[in-house]
Structure 1
Amino acid sequence: MTGLRIELRRSTALWAGLLVLVSSTGMLLLITSESAAWPANSTSAVLELRLPLAYVWALVVGFAVLQGMRDSRARVTELFTATSRPGWVRLGTLASAVAGVVAVAGVLLCAGLVVKVALGGGFVSTGFVPLMVTVVLALASSVLLGLAVGRFLPHPLTVPVALVATFMVSTSAAQALEARSPDDEISRLALLTPVLDPPGSDLVTTATSVDLGQIVWFTGLGVTAFLLLAARTHLGRLAALLPVVLALTLALSIMPAKYSEVLVTDSIAGKLVCEGTVCLSQVHAASLPAVAAVGRDVLAKLSVLPDAPSEVREDTSAMAHVTAPQRDRRIVYVQSQRFPSHLTMTGDQLRLELLAGAGVAGCAGPNTFDTSGGVVRHLTAGYFNGELAGLPSDSLMWNNTRLRGEIDEAWRQFRGQPAREQLDRVVRARQMLLACEDSERVLDVLRAGR
């Protein structure tokens, strides 16, 4: 313990821990907006750390490499080699000090986020634990690797090269993990880094296979780094590579190959809580009473339809940020991930949103603009509402003079038909939306074009 206290005082251990805490917290504050979803769920909060970790990871490795060069810079390498005390004991103490402090900093950082979520009235569960373990192992193993690199490559350029190389690896990994559809293949090698761009949802976490693979990999990397740090012979250094080779082989066999298998719905936070025929996720259970009242009214209005929907349910799918909304003739979905404001709207606003499309979401994917689909949503919501009104989630169309004119003209054409004909055309439009047919054809049906 005496040696550990000495290393804590004279090494960069405490500074490295402070670096992790301050830089991660600062970057998290910089990239967090008022509309961020992660403060509502402890699992999402810890997952959000993966974004600033891409930068902090490089700084930690650079600090560790600098610390690993200490003996060489002080020109005492031969002196310590000649002492009777085993080298691995002294180096183990140094490694324990630096890696231990960084690991503790990682735990404190994750714990601080969980406390923030709890104090803010968010949902706290054990789902964050695997993510925290991964973060801590990634930081600790990176420190050990940095110490080993600094010890065996004591060159003035080693620190900047290691820092830049780590940053380039993290940047490349982030790009390799980008996807536009659930079926996109991703690089398993990219998953060997602690980097991931979260989807901005409080219902999503990483799959068990990803967590397990990363834990295996970072554990093997840490063991190899420590053995390299303590090895004195070429044979010892060669043998030290065995754990990381085994870990790499096992991790790659566990890691998923498709994007849809990387992110999954949080099994705890995403579990549905129901009030009658209206269901929301546990993380949004506080909004259930208000949504349930609106949901029952929506189902009553939609009951005039043949084969009318019988349930209102939150869409908790993990791929909601890259796919078109779910559709089911029996279910009216609350699109909380695509439109987080759905859960904070007034009752009248949410009613309009759920009635749009006759209870069926549009077919357009995220980050797309479908003019015809927007007009269809306004017309169908207006039909059940009794009058035309703006949809809060599509305020651009409602406030734009030209687009508003298209909505008003289509509304006049639609309302100019007999009442029975209006209902028949809404029914046909709903069937076409369920089949995800072209939005222009759906609009043509409502305008009595065919």
Structure 2
Amino acid sequence: MTGLRIELRRSTALWAGLVVLLSGTGMLWLVTSAGSLWKGNSTSAVLELRLPLAYVWALVVGLAALQGMRDSRAGVTELFATTAKPAWKRLGTLAGSVAGVVAIAAALLCLGLVARVALGGGFVSAGFVPLALTAVLALASSTLLGLAIGRMLPHPLTVPVALVATFMVATTAGRALEVRSPGDEISALALLTPVMNPPGSDLVTTSTSVDLGQLAWFTGLGVTAFLLLVARGLLARLAALVPAGLALALALSIMPTKFSDVLVSDSIASKLVCDNDVCVGRVHADHLPAVAEAGKAALAELAVLPDAPKAVHEDTSAMAHLTPTRRDRQIIYLNTIGYPRRLEMSPDEIRLELLAGAGVASCAEPYSFNTVEAVARYVTAGYFNGELAELASERLMWTNDRLRGEIDQAWQRFRAQPANEQLARVTEVRRMMLTCEDPERMLDVLQAGR
């Protein structure tokens, strides 16, 4: 214990822990907006930390490499080599102090985020634990790697090169995980870093295969890094690579190669809680009263449809941020991804959103826009509402003079038809939206086009 106290006092251990806490907190504050979803779910909060880890990870490796050069800079490498005390004991104390403080700091950072969510009235579950363990293990093993690099390569350029190289690997891996559709292929190598862009949803987490693969890889990396730190001679260093090699093979064998297998629904946060036939994810239970009021009213108005929907559910699918909202004849799915967030709308605004498309969500990809379909959604919402009204999710259509003119013109043509014809055409548009069949023709159907 005496040696450990000395190392804590004389090494960069405490500074490294401070770097993790301050840089992690600072970067998270800089890269997230005031309306970020992670503040409502502990799992999302720890997952959000994966982006700032690109910077924290690089700083930790660079600082550890500087610490690893201590013996060389002090000119005592040969002196310590002649002592009777085994190298692994002396260097193990150093590694334990620095990596241990970094691990504790990383754990405190994760727990601080969870506490922030809890104090803000958010949803806290055990789902954050695997993500936190991965972050802690990644930083601790990378600290050991930095120490080993500094000891093996005591050159003035070692620290800046290690720092920049780590940051480049992190940013490259992050970009490699940026996809446009769930079926996109990804490189499993990109998952060997702790870095990932947050998905913009508080209903998802990383899959078990990703968690296990990363835990296996960082464990093997940590063992190899420690063995490299204490190794003497080329053969010992070559043998030290075996744990990392085995861990790499194991990790790559279980890592997914499709993005749809990287993120999955958080089984705890996305579990549905219901008020009769209206349900939202458990993490959004505080919004259930407003959604239930809107959902029940919308279901009553949609009851005039043949084969009318019977329930309203939040779309809790893992890929909701990359694909159009789920659709079902019996269920209206409410998309809560994107802005403005539907869960933050008033009950009447949510009701209009549910009525648009005759109870079927837009066929457009998330964060995309289809003018023709948007006009059709306005007309169908107006049919059940009795008059046109602004859709909060399509505010641009309502405030733009030209687009508003298109809505008014389509509405007048639609209303000029007999009542039974109006219902038939709305029913046909609902059928088309359920299968996303030719969205460009929906407006023609409503306007009695041929």
Quickly name the TM-score band, shorter chain normalised. over 0.9
Deviations 1:366-409 (A, max 9, x none): 12110001101100111100100110011011111110110011
Instruction: Report how far residue 341 of structure 1 moved.
Output: 2.1
Which secondary structure does the structure 2 equivalent of 1:167 belong to? helix
> What's the counterpart of residue 408 of structure 1?
408
The whole-number CA distance in structure 1 between the counterparts of 2:376 and 2:124 is: 40
Instruction: Report how far residue 338 of structure 1 moved.
Output: 3.4
Give the aligned residue type for 2:141. S
> What's the counterpart of residue 165 of structure 1?
165
1:352-363 matches, cutoff 5 A: 352-363=352-363
The whole-number CA distance in structure 1 between the counterparts of 2:59 and 2:370 is: 44
> What's the counterpart of residue 336 of structure 1?
336
Instruction: Report how far residue 340 of structure 1 moved.
Output: 5.9
> What's the counterpart of residue 323 of structure 1?
323
Decide whether the 8 Å contact of 2:340 with 2:393 is kept in 1: no
> What's the counterpart of residue 214 of structure 2?
214
- Verify: 1:67 aligned to 2:67, yes or no: yes
Alignment: residue pair count? 450
The whole-number CA distance in structure 2 between the counterparts of 1:73 and 1:155 is: 9
TM-score by length of 1: 0.99
- Verify: 1:294 aligned to 2:294, yes or no: yes
The whole-number CA distance in structure 1 between the counterparts of 2:46 and 2:440 is: 43
1:51-450 matches, cutoff 5 A: 51-339=51-339, 341-450=341-450
The whole-number CA distance in structure 2 between the counterparts of 1:318 and 1:185 is: 17
Which secondary structure does the structure 1 equivalent of 2:356 belong to? helix
Which stretch of the first structure deviates more once superposed, 340-349 or 292-301?
340-349
The whole-number CA distance in structure 2 between the counterparts of 1:9 and 1:349 is: 60
> What's the counterpart of residue 50 of structure 2?
50
The whole-number CA distance in structure 2 between the counterparts of 1:407 and 1:24 is: 48
Instruction: Report how far residue 353 of structure 1 moved.
Output: 0.5
Deviations 1:398-448 (A, max 9, x none): 111110110011011011111111111100010011110122201100011
Instruction: Report how far residue 237 of structure 1 moved.
Output: 1.2
Instruction: Report how far residue 302 of structure 1 moved.
Output: 0.6
Which secondary structure does the structure 1 equivalent of 2:341 belong to? helix
The whole-number CA distance in structure 1 between the counterparts of 2:377 and 2:66 is: 60
The whole-number CA distance in structure 1 between the counterparts of 2:308 and 2:34 is: 38
Give the aligned residue type for 2:29. L
Which stretch of the first structure deviates more once superposed, 262-271 or 329-338?
329-338
The whole-number CA distance in structure 1 between the counterparts of 2:442 and 2:64 is: 61
Give the aligned residue type for 2:261. E
The whole-number CA distance in structure 1 between the counterparts of 2:199 and 2:236 is: 44
The whole-number CA distance in structure 2 between the counterparts of 1:246 and 1:377 is: 55
Give the aligned residue type for 2:365. G
Decide whether the 8 Å contact of 1:184 with 1:259 is kept in 2: yes
Identity, % of aligned positions: 71
The whole-number CA distance in structure 1 between the counterparts of 2:110 and 2:38 is: 13
Give the aligned residue type for 2:55. Y
Decide whether the 8 Å contact of 2:224 with 2:240 is kept in 1: yes
Which secondary structure does the structure 2 equivalent of 1:85 belong to? coil
Decide whether the 8 Å contact of 1:313 with 1:334 is kept in 2: yes
Give the aligned residue type for 2:144. L
The whole-number CA distance in structure 2 between the counterparts of 1:22 and 1:373 is: 47
Segments of 5+ residues of structure 2 without an aligned counterpart are none
The whole-number CA distance in structure 2 between the counterparts of 1:393 and 1:291 is: 16
> What's the counterpart of residue 39 of structure 1?
39
The whole-number CA distance in structure 2 between the counterparts of 1:174 and 1:81 is: 42
Q: CA RMSD in A?
A: 0.8
Instruction: Report how far residue 83 of structure 1 moved.
Output: 1.1
Decide whether the 8 Å contact of 1:320 with 1:338 is kept in 2: no
The whole-number CA distance in structure 2 between the counterparts of 1:229 and 1:440 is: 64
Instruction: Report how far residue 245 of structure 1 moved.
Output: 0.6
Which runs of structure 1 show a deviation greater than 4 angstroms over 4 or more consecutive aligned residues?
A: none
Deviations 1:115-163 (A, max 9, x none): 0000000000000000000000000000000000000000000111111
Instruction: Report how far residue 234 of structure 1 moved.
Output: 2.0
Decide whether the 8 Å contact of 2:320 with 2:337 is kept in 1: yes
The whole-number CA distance in structure 2 between the counterparts of 1:3 and 1:160 is: 29
Instruction: Report how far residue 233 of structure 1 moved.
Output: 2.4
Instruction: Report how far residue 339 of structure 1 moved.
Output: 4.5
Instruction: Report how far residue 200 of structure 1 moved.
Output: 1.1
Give the aligned residue type for 2:369. F
Which secondary structure does the structure 2 equivalent of 1:51 belong to? coil
> Compared with structure 1, are the counterparts of its residues 128 and 295 closer, same or farther at alpha carbon in structure 2 (3 Å cutoff)?
same
Which secondary structure does the structure 2 equivalent of 1:248 belong to? helix
Deviations 1:323-374 (A, max 9, x none): 1111111111111123562112111111101100000011110121100011
The whole-number CA distance in structure 1 between the counterparts of 2:256 and 2:402 is: 47
> What's the counterpart of residue 12 of structure 1?
12
